[in-house]
Amino acid sequence: MHIVSIISLWFIPVLIGFILLYGTVKKVPTYETFVEGGKEGIKMAFSIIPFLVGMMVAISIFRASGALDFMIDWMRPGLEKFGIPADILPLAIIRPISGTAALGMTSDLIAAHGPDSFIGRLASTIQGSTDTTFYVLTVYFGAVGIKKMGDALKVGLLADLAGFAAAIVVVTLMFGM
Amino acid sequence: MVNYIWVGMTIIGLVFAAVNGTMSEVNEAVFKGAQEAVTLCIGLISILVFWLGMMRIAENAGLLEKLANLFKPFITRLFPEVPAGHPAMGYILSNMMANVFGLGNAATPLGIKAMEELKRLNGGKDSASRSMITFLAINTSSITLIPTTVIAIRITYDSASPTEIVGPTLIATSISTIAAILIDRYFYYRRSRKG
């Protein structure tokens, strides 16, 4: 664990130093190149705004109206048959849609059930092992102007489902109910 | 598909609000959601500018090409449509590296650059290519080595062992990444059978 935390602490600084030194050795005009590349970042951030605004407003409406809570209550009996705690469902639904909302829900679950409870551990594992599919999809495809997504959404969501299933199984096996 | 989900979430929410009498919350949610989205984008500018600047240096120095060559056997198998030594490979790899180390913010600009290169490979069309879908699938199941944020939350709530979830997270994320690749392959073969 110590090595892992050292790596996470040193990774970015070492990467920055390495790129700058490597560029200097290869005679790249580092500062000019940095500025030139950075300009692109401004354009990119602004081009993402409409995609995120559209998506996040829809999610907020869905959540604020009470529709999300209704969906959870409706699905609860079916889920509990498969050993899936219904409390985890909002997180599972929100996780592919909104990263910040999912983080909020994870902290909420950990606060309510305790970090070392089954739900707490499960929420931690789900939060850590999956990513925000809709965010990745809207940002990556939006920034480069991909309009026809093909199977991308289906594949992404099914992968998320596999991630949740894996998290539930692994946490159950390692820590028990 | 995304059109239906988008409209569906909004309309279901609106109908619910009408029935439930939560219209005032919904009014607030419209403005809060939009504001949150813009705040997120503004926050992204700093990181995007910095990492895209750094990565331009790495790119011009030939560093990404080197990285791509190193992992060529692995990546050519995953992305058969990307020619060996193409800059897209370098971006894909740096994006994966950033994800592995939990650098979500560094991963985003790299992922966008990778998509840009993949779009160029696809003749600039506005439809997703096979490689784009594979890249996306791997990204959404992101292999995580250190779930930093989660560990931080667990420490905040006095966990007896905040880092105990590192093991399960790594196992779960590996399984989901393998599953993502398999699911992606399945959909690809289904597509190609249909012609």
- Asked whether this complex has an ipTM greater than 0.90, the answer is no
Q: Chain B: nearest CA to A103, how far in angstroms?
A: 8
**Angstrom distance (rounded) from CA A55 to CA A135:** 9
- Model confidence at A127: pLDDT above 90: no
CB contact under 8 A, A129 and B173: yes
C-beta atoms of A62 and B32 within 8 A: no
Give the CA distances from residue B74 to residues A52, B42, B77, B123, in Å, rounded to whole numbers and listed in that order. Answer: 33, 36, 6, 25
Chain B residues inside the 8 Å CB shell of A96: 140
The answer, yes or no, to whether residue B104 has pLDDT greater than 70, is no
Q: Does B20 touch chain A (CB under 8 A)?
A: yes
Average pLDDT over residues A108-125: 87
Whether chain A has a CB inside 8 Å of the CB on B185: the answer is: no
Please check the confidence at residue B3 and state whether its pLDDT lies above 70.
Answer: yes
Q: Which of A93-107, B12-26, B101-115, B161-175 has the highest mean pLDDT?
A: B12-26
The answer to whether the predicted template modeling score (pTM) of the entire model surpasses 0.90 is no
**Chain B environment of A129 (Cβ under 8 Å):** 144, 147, 169-170, 172-173, 176
B113, B136, B161, B173, best to mutate vs chain A, most A CBs in 10 Å? B136
Residues of B in contact with A58 (CB under 8 A): 6, 9-10, 13, 33
- B102 falls in which pLDDT band (50, 70, 90)? low
DSSP per residue over chain B, as a string? -HHHHHHHHHHHHHHHHHHHT-HHHHHHHHHHHHHHHHHHHHHHHHHHHHHHHHHHHHHHTTHHHHHHHHTHHHHHHH-TTSPTT-HHHHHHHHHHHHHHTT-HHHHHHHHHHHHHHHHHHTTT-SB--HHHHHHHHHHHT---S--HHHHHHHHHTT-S-GGGGHHHHHHHHHHHHHHHHHHHHHHHHHHHHH-
Mean of pLDDT values over A43-51: 80
Q: What's the confidence (pLDDT) of residue B82?
A: 86
Distance CA A18, CA A41 (A): 21
Question: Residue B26 has what pLDDT?
Answer: 93
